[in-house]
Amino acid sequence: MMVDYQALLANAKTARERAYTPYSRFKVGAAVLTASGQIFHGCNIENAAYPVCLCAERSALAAAWSAGEIEFIALAVVADTPGPVAPCGMCRQFMFELAPDLPVLLANLAEQTQHTTPRELLPSGFASESLNHNR
């Protein structure tokens, strides 16, 4: 499937506007294209108990997965950062589990971009094979 990254980034920007960030004031948006051609949005959703905060990347992938859309084609993430946004470690692990080779577009509002994958973002990532080893 041909990926319109400009459109996916535009969706991520729209999702970013919906972020709930009373604590950090740092809004992040994500959009994931699935095999059926649908786009699912994600935004960060914070919490007064700070560690409970949900990131945009996990929000988007969970929205798609919950709708039964488990085959991902591409993911775009955007924030108001000096360069392309860097996903947190928890999101790197989360993406690595569900789609290690998913094309990921990291961007900022000025549309500086970086194309990468969860595998590249999380070298030597912990995977299910690691658990199975002791069975």
Interface residue list for ligand THU (CB under 6 A):
21, 24, 26, 28, 44, 46, 53, 55-57, 77, 85, 87-88, 91
Classify 100 in phi/psi space as left (phi over 0), alpha (psi -120 to 50) or beta.
Answer: alpha
Return the number of the residue (39 or 75) whose C-beta is nearest ligand THU. Answer: 75
**Alpha-carbon gap, residue 19 to 132, rounded angstroms:** 37
φ, ψ at 72 (rounded to 5°): -100, 140
**Alpha-carbon gap, residue 88 to 107, rounded angstroms:** 14
From the list 57, 69, 71, 97, the catalytic residue is 57
**Alpha-carbon gap, residue 77 to 95, rounded angstroms:** 12
57 is catalytic: yes
Return the number of the residue (28 or 61) whose C-beta is nearest ligand THU. Answer: 28
Cβ 33 to ligand THU, closest distance in Å?
18
Cβ 135 to ligand THU, closest distance in Å?
34
Q: Which residues are catalytic?
A: 57
